[in-house]
Amino acid sequence: MALTRLGLNQSINLATNTTGDLNLSSQVTGTLATGNGGTGATSFAPGKVGQVLQAITTSGVTIQSTSYVDIGLSQAITPSATSSKILIMATVQGSPVIATNAQIIARYNINKDGSTHYEWNRAIGHSVGVDNTGGAGVYQIAPLTYLSSPNTTSAVTYKIQAKLVDSTANSRTIYAQDDSSASMLTLMEILA
Amino acid sequence: MENSRKIVKAINILKETADFKIIGDILTEEDFNKIEWVVSTNGDQAVLSTTCPHSELSWSAVKTEMDKL
């Protein structure tokens, strides 16, 4: 078998200059440089998603409060490492309703183990009155996404909460999961 | 008017400043007794109790107002 020693900057075209099989796991070493289309990496890291959990509720909750209350959407997760992050993705249905022609704004919050973790000051609302004597609603869905760093391997519980930004006057009310519409909370552990 | 709207209006007629959380529909006194009332706050978190702090808000009074709507 003829052997050719390659000089600097010479290459072998595996598609046209070779025959037989090349065992990539035993016969190839080294790193394919980024300049040649490689990653420069000498090893490959496995996937980064550790676990995915989801909670869904369609149970209606009526809220008339200027301090945070649960809307009935909660999910616990136990990270596998302290370096993991938790990607929180929620889709929260709610109808802000007011009895007179004024403004209503609802604030949403991701609660972590009983404390406010991240809040959306203007989550849903409207500034045109909808008379709730007619039973009307302004059906809205808020997508909430946040990357949490719990720094623990103990169970962590995330909950979605809501409250009114202004007063409860004029029958300002939030109807979460109005007419049994679904809200959902998804937790994804992202490994370091 | 659906039940969830009706009870809010009835409560607000009797006590406009009442803060509360209701899960599901309120059809009976047993349901009414499950309403969680905001009795205080802890930071930005509501402290809830099923014991209503407002004497005006009995089941019979709320039911009477609901039946008018």
Q: What is the pLDDT of residues A95-124, one digit of tens each?
A: 988 877 778 889 999 999 999 999 998 888
Q: How far is CA A90 from the centre of its chain?
A: 7
- The yes-or-no verdict on residue A135 having pLDDT over 50 is no
What is this structure's pTM?
A: 0.78
Banded model confidence at residue A16, pLDDT cuts 50, 70, 90: confident
Instruction: Give which of A83, A58, A155 is closest to A114, Cα–Cα.
Output: A155
8 Å CB contact of B45 and A114: yes
8 Å CB contact of B18 and A97: no
- The yes-or-no verdict on residue A64 having pLDDT over 80 is yes
CA distances from residue A70 to A76, A79, A181 in whole angstroms, order as listed: 15, 23, 16
Higher pLDDT, B6 or A2: B6
Tell me, what's the pLDDT at A24? 66
Convert B15-53 to b/e letters by CB count within 10 Å (16 or more is b): beebbbbbbbebeeeebbeebbbbeeeeebbbebeeebe
Q: How far apart are CA A79 and CA A63, in angstroms?
A: 32
SS3 state at B13: helix
Read off the tokens for A51. Answer: 């676990």
Mean pLDDT of B16-36: 95
Q: What is the pLDDT of residues A142-155, one digit of tens each?
A: 999 999 999 999 99
Residue A75, Cβ neighbours under 10 Å: how many?
Answer: 20
Reported ipTM: 0.88
Query: How far is A98 from chain B, CA to nearest CA, in Å?
Result: 10
Q: Which residues of B touch A114 (CB under 8 A)?
A: 45
Least confident of A30-44, A60-74, B39-53: A30-44
Q: Which residues pair with A126 in a beta bridge?
A: A104
Partner A contacted by B22 (CB < 8 A): yes
Q: Which residues pair with A51 in a beta bridge?
A: A189
Alpha-carbon dihedral angle through residues B34, B38, B42, B43, given to the nearest 10 degrees: 130
8 Å CB contact of A134 and B1: yes
A to B CB pairs, distance under 8 Å: 85
Mean pLDDT of A175-187: 95
Share of chain B above pLDDT 70, in %: 99
Banded model confidence at residue A47, pLDDT cuts 50, 70, 90: confident
Q: How far apart are CA A106 and CA A140, in angstroms?
A: 11
Share of chain A above pLDDT 90, in %: 56
SS3 state at B31: helix
Q: Are the C-beta atoms of residues A98 and A129 closer than 8 Å to each other?
A: yes
Tell me, what's the pLDDT at A151? 97
Mean pLDDT of B2-8: 88
Tell me, what's the pLDDT at A174? 92
8 Å CB contact of B5 and A59: no
